[in-house]
Structure 1
Amino acid sequence: MRSRWLAAVAAFAWIVLVAVPVPAADAAPTARRQVGATDGLWYWQLPDTPNGLVPVQAWSGAGSAPDGAIYVAGMDHVTNAALYRLGPEGGSAGAPGLTLAYVGDARAASQAVGNLRPGEGIEKFHTHPTWLDGRVYLPNLNHSTLDAGYLEKRGFHWYAYDESDRRLLDLSADRPGGAAVAHGGLVSIAVDRGRGVIYGAMVPTGDIYAYDVRRNTTRRLGRPDYRRPYVYAGRAMWTDARGRLYFTAGAAQPWNGAPYDPAIFDHVHAYDPAAGRFVELTDWRLHEQRAIDTAQCFPVAGECYLADGVGRIYRFLERDPETGRPGWQELGKIWDRPADKVEATWVLQVNRARTKAYLMNKSGAVVEFDLGQGRVTRRANLFRLEPRFANMWLYGYDAWDAHGRFYFAAFGKPAAPTRVSLVAIDPERFFRAAARR
């Protein structure tokens, strides 16, 4: 299945690169805001890049910056990956920003510093667009399958969009071999703002790396004793105020390396930078050895809300009121059927008040989860309300603007690739309109 999927994407990408005319190098492609069929929903179709990339996947979802900007990545899973920015310009409490703009792509950034080898592609950005000190970071991932094929490819680069220079930069050009590491790519990252460090989990080994932003150096920290060479690493990690990193691994689907030994994979792991060692948090349990794939943290409150790929929701507390130490709670699940019958749930958005979480699955269901009461309310079906997105994959977490709208990416399946759309929803307006239809 995986090989057919990659072959289909590769064929589409090749056709696109041959057939699409390349705009002038100094062009800045943009897309205008479009209004959905349902009040409270807007979308933007990601434009082609100046060097010919047609963005048909968006495994990074969307992320937000302190100034209210929303960032989303688009890629073709073979040749290139690009970054786009939706600024607050032209937006208001009544509608989001007017224009989504291309701000750079991996191939162009690497070519600008002589760091792209002949025939080399940049498969994708998989990590959540992550802001730190005026830059949005996106390392690449050039081998997605859990096998030794990653050893035949160059390791990942650290890419960053500099908000002051307004350029996407390849920060790894001056590293040995022009890459942050010799082989492998990152599937998830998390920031320790106090230390100026970005942690990353590697595919396919699950190794944890630490990137020192100021020194531009990447160091392998190692990994827990997984007792197997390759693992499905969780698509979301998180840190606490002390800089401790929390992460997970494991999955249920055979193509993700299952089965996974419960003794190793049914709980959260951590890396303590002060002690320089990994820690097993065996009381912080996961169901069915399913890693955390989406997360949203509230550093001031000392809380994170997290979910696995089938909609089971957890809460992390920096200080549990009962113990005074970091704590872990399972809050509930949004589906009342066996996990193997649940469509993948890759959208998690938690409101600013931390009272409600919104989750969406591959069938288009939009569910509201009451974080205090554990109550589940099915609010709408995106595909019925907005047929243009029917049967697309939906992906994204922790992306909100200043007016209470959340953002995610919608894109076609590999057998029927379609241009990526960045989608914005004002939940109160959208659910009121959905109830009337």
Structure 2
Amino acid sequence: MASFRAKKPVPTSYVEPTQPLKAEKKTSDGPTQKLFKRLSPGQQSQVGIFRHVVLIIDSSESLPLTYLSEFINSLFLYVQFILSHRPLIRVAFMTLQNSLCYLELRFSSNLSAFEEVLRDGFRPSGHIALATGLDQAYELLMNSKSAASSRRILYINFSSATIDSLDIFNVLEKLLSAQVQVDTVSLTNSFGVLDHISRKTGGRHLIIDRETKGGLLNLLKRLELRSEDVRITQATEEGDSNVDEGKFIMVGFPVHICDDAICFCHNRHGTGFYECPFCYAVVCDISECVCCGLQLVMYPNLYRGALLHKRALSFTKSDSSLVQPEAATSSANQAEDSKHIKAKSVCSLCQMQYGTDTDRSQYLCSFCSGPFCKSCSELLAEAKVSCPVCGKI
């Protein structure tokens, strides 16, 4: 295993984060109101299209050496999972050992950078400082340029005690005020403060089952999926209460550079870099510009990330069996009724008659009651697009 490289503690300087814009309702009557305004300094967004996650690892002497290889492999597979399924996520990496907190990697979405850090391995030593680690993670989250993003801390613990110079409950109050969710995964259940922190911040505290192969990886995936479900629920509730409000964030679409260049973030010479559209800085990672702080994102990733926040179009299932009308006096009226019945039995999307002779169920849009067949209703719900009849979602 490669030697453990020298590290420096995370600086404690605090920089006031850039506040996002908030939309106001604009009325046509009376004087024109301002369309945008800044969020207050203490107001943060619980649900955002961008996600910032700080991964904290207990690298103290409590980390079992026999579990080290499986642990590193599970961490890499977990990071690979979230980066592939969450296109707008940014992950930072910290370790706790010798009663200090070390920043291994700042917010990034580059899997190669995580692979390079994990390849160096861990050399467990000393004790953890839990309050110091959470406090440094809080500072790192608050220093991120995007205030209109969800913030989360994931801590993997192997110790049963902590040696701290900070008050853990004061740090907990800071996390609560910033609405930072803390999820913890532990090898033992003897560290009771972890469960308290997780419950207070809306997270979960899970225990690793070492007897089960891939137990850590399965727990981490469960936490990720559960966290996504909570964010979608919060977005739905927030959308119901604040229909006319919206939170905005400035993003830029970087330009791919094919020629040789030197990146501004690592001073590396190579190809395949990107250019910031605002300050024209050359960067090798699509996260935040190291010069102007602009949030960089690719078009496909922005679409995939926004798609996760949309609610699926709901339909009401009903029986399309139409009752035959009473005998009409004229053949002209019967022809008109026949055309009207046939028009109602056509899907609004594929324009085909839905159902068969045995199954004539139709699915009505919850907004306009537009009829759809089963296949088209499932397609619209899965794609999370608006209704083609009324345009609502």
Q: TM-score range, shorter-chain basis?
A: under 0.3
Q: Say which structure is richer in strand.
A: 1
Q: Say which structure is richer in helix.
A: 2
TM-score by length of 1: 0.21
TM-score by length of 2: 0.23
- Structure of higher CA gyration radius: 2
